[in-house]
Amino acid sequence: MQIKKIFQDHVINIISSLVNDGVFVSRPDISRVVVDTPRDTSHGDIAINAAMVLSKDARMAPRELAEIIQSKLSELGDVQKSEIAGPGFINLSLKADFWQRQLTEVLKYKTNYGDSNFGESKKVNVEYVSANPTGPLHVAHARGAVTGDVLANLLRKVGYDVTTEYYINDAGNQVDVLARSAYFRYCEALGHDVGEIPDGLYPGDYMIEVGHCLASEEGDKWYGVDEVEWIKLFREVTVEMMMKTVRSDLAALGIKQDIFTSERALVDAGIVNDVFNDLNSKELIYKGVLEPPKGMKPDDWERREQTLFKSTSFGDDIDRPLKKSDGSWTYFANDIAYHYDKHRRGYEFMINIFGADHSGYVKRMKAAVSAITGRSDTLNIKLCQIVHLKKGGKPIRMSKRSGNFITLRDLIDEVGKDVVRFIMLTRKNDTQMEFDLKKVVDHSRDNPVFYLQYAHARCCSVLRNAPEILGNPKLTLNLLHDADFSKLDDPGELDLIRQVVSWPQVVEAAAEVQEPHRLAYYLNDLAELFHALWNKGRDNSSLRFVNSENPDLTVARLALVQAVAFVIASGLNVFGIEPVEELR
């Protein structure tokens, strides 16, 4: 149970009893009442704004109403002190015993502490990466990959039924270009003089292997043959090989999506026609002419009647074309079909992780999903902004044209999977960020992963060494669970306890707004409090966790240490990072 919720319930009960007592002249809007943990500790443990937001309904001054609510709250057993502050906040300080008791929960649930049923097993689909299958993943994909993966973990933790998915764009022009690039390398592998790679083909060295593969599988039977004869085969084989690379790149990041959906398969199955008919029956499709965008110079603009989807009916700026001039479906049309398919598979919510370069696509996609499902909140799109790579403060530039971009694999090889994962989560997803490859491999506070792992390792170290110092080899979890937590009364210990037991509400808040980066900040704060307490023991030996002369106190402290380790591990599990027990 979240601490906030406990007191939220108390406050709501008090207000409804005041309603019965006739204190309010108009019906108070409970939803405006916020029960919070204030950031300034001098404001106590719980802050309540009820008196300020409801004063008008009671025709009272905020502080006057506050006094009435306060007197009821002060009767609660766990409240040590209550006061009215500022414009009418009610601040509660809770008894140490209340906080200490919460540790029992942590030791009971271990690394599952923070799990909840907030999501009520609702089906959610999280789609991320979905890079074109035309080469290995590069660094630009890293942020979206990690954000999607961790968001999925986070939603699972709070009780959603999550499916992760990758959409393979294997139906467009680009895969024909890919097939031609493969054919070029195939001819090269057969030993023919092919010259330089023609403009427009994928120039990367990774295609050489594809060419060799095709040459050894197929021999020279396609050499000199017309394109229509070989393109389908080359397309399929090459896409398959590219996806193998993509899957292995994702695996190197610790990611494995549940489902891979092929765009081409959807088209072949006729789903685009299905959704077209569906939208057509809703009178959302018409033939019309779009005006060219103002302020731009459309070099090859040509007025043309098109098949359009009425996305303006759902908040988009202009209606969007569904068919190209050659009569084939646009990418957008296929994508509508894809989301139609997801909808038919029964997902109540869909989350797409996009790169910032797709921001212009958000409105039309949400419009399409609204049209399909009849609900505007089915699809949520998270944009991941650009990551500027640096090394020792110097920007790393990369040129796509030569094919010499930095691959995701390069990045992982250089700094490690865990660092890539964690750093991507130290910023809000929709703000640009810097990533300095040099700083994050240091074993210092510059490297937030190590700072956290160090805290976890220290916890493990204490728990490892304690039995020997105490002369008691049996330090079971049951023993820790039943410890006398009232002995944990040092301010540093209580600060740490408060942080540890606020984990469930941090998890739920992060899940609710879909912002996994909040966990990173919480965990950093937790590690900071732990390191601080550790060092207090250096200055004052009576604060050391292990005290051979006071076994009861020691067991209580070890329980706290164990709780810290559980919560760090719980957080790292969400991040897909293995907590380490030793750092030496």
Partner RNA sequence: GCGCCCGUAGCUCAACUGGAUAGAGCACGUGCCUUCUAAGCACGGGGUUGCAGGUUCGAGUCCUGCCGGGCGCGCCA
**Residues of span 527-556 touching RNA by CB under 7 A:** 528, 531-532, 534-539, 541, 543-546
Residues 352 to 371 in contact with RNA, rule: CB under 7 A: 356-363
From candidates 2, 49, 163, 407, binder to RNA by CB under 7 A: 49
Whole-number minimum distance, CB 188 to RNA, in Å?
Answer: 25
155: left (phi over 0), alpha (psi -120 to 50) or beta: alpha
From candidates 110, 247, 498, 518, binder to RNA by CB under 7 A: 518
Residues 325 to 344 in contact with RNA, rule: CB under 7 A: 325-326, 330-332
Whole-number minimum distance, CB 10 to RNA, in Å?
Answer: 16
Residues 279 to 298 in contact with RNA, rule: CB under 7 A: 290, 292-296, 298
Whole-number minimum distance, CB 55 to RNA, in Å?
Answer: 8
Is 47 a residue that touches RNA (CB under 7 A)?
yes
Distance CA 260, CA 141 (A): 17
From candidates 57, 263, 319, 418, binder to RNA by CB under 7 A: 263
Distance CA 132, CA 331 (A): 12
Whole-number minimum distance, CB 224 to RNA, in Å?
Answer: 28
- Hey, how many other C-beta atoms are within 10 angstroms of the C-beta on 302? 7
Distance CA 285, CA 320 (A): 10
Whole-number minimum distance, CB 132 to RNA, in Å?
Answer: 5
DSSP string, 525-555: HHHHHHHHHHHHHHH-GGGSS--TT-HHHHH
Is 473 a residue that touches RNA (CB under 7 A)?
no
Residues 167 to 206 in contact with RNA, rule: CB under 7 A: 169, 171-174
- The count of C-alpha atoms lying within 13 angstroms of the C-alpha of 136, restricted to the half-sphere facing its C-beta, is 23
Indicate the residue among 117 and 325 with the shorter CB distance to RNA: 325
Pick the piece of the chain touching RNA (CB under 7 A) from 144-152, 216-224, 234-242, 425-433.
425-433
Residues 6 to 35 in contact with RNA, rule: CB under 7 A: 34
**Which residue do the tokens 């569906």 mark?**
278
Q: Crossing angle for the helix pair 503-512 and 491-501, nearest 10 degrees?
A: 40
Is 267 a residue that touches RNA (CB under 7 A)?
no
* Alpha-carbon distance values, 92 to 33, 166, 516 (Å): 15, 48, 29
Indicate the residue among 317 and 484 with the shorter CB distance to RNA: 317
Residues 445 to 464 in contact with RNA, rule: CB under 7 A: 445-446, 450-451, 454, 457-458, 460-462
From candidates 27, 287, 304, 401, binder to RNA by CB under 7 A: 304
Whole-number minimum distance, CB 318 to RNA, in Å?
Answer: 7
Strands 285-289 and 259-262 come out as unpaired
In whole angstroms, what separates CA 415 from the centre of its chain? 21
- Is residue 277 exposed (0-12), middle (13-18) or buried (19+ Cβ within 10 Å)? exposed
Indicate the residue among 416 and 537 with the shorter CB distance to RNA: 537
Residue 540 in contact with residue 444, Cβ under 8 Å?
no
Q: How many helices (H) and strands (E) does the chain have?
A: 20, 15
Indicate the residue among 121 and 325 with the shorter CB distance to RNA: 325
Indicate the residue among 280 and 432 with the shorter CB distance to RNA: 432
Strands 433-436 and 387-391 come out as parallel
Size of the residue set binding RNA (CB under 7 A): 106
From candidates 78, 517, 553, 573, binder to RNA by CB under 7 A: 517
Closest among 256, 250, 255 to 136, alpha carbons compared: 250
From candidates 17, 41, 86, 410, binder to RNA by CB under 7 A: 86
Whole-number minimum distance, CB 360 to RNA, in Å?
Answer: 2
**SS3 call for 197:** coil
Rg over alpha carbons for the chain, rounded to the nearest Å, is: 30
From candidates 123, 509, 550, 553, binder to RNA by CB under 7 A: 509
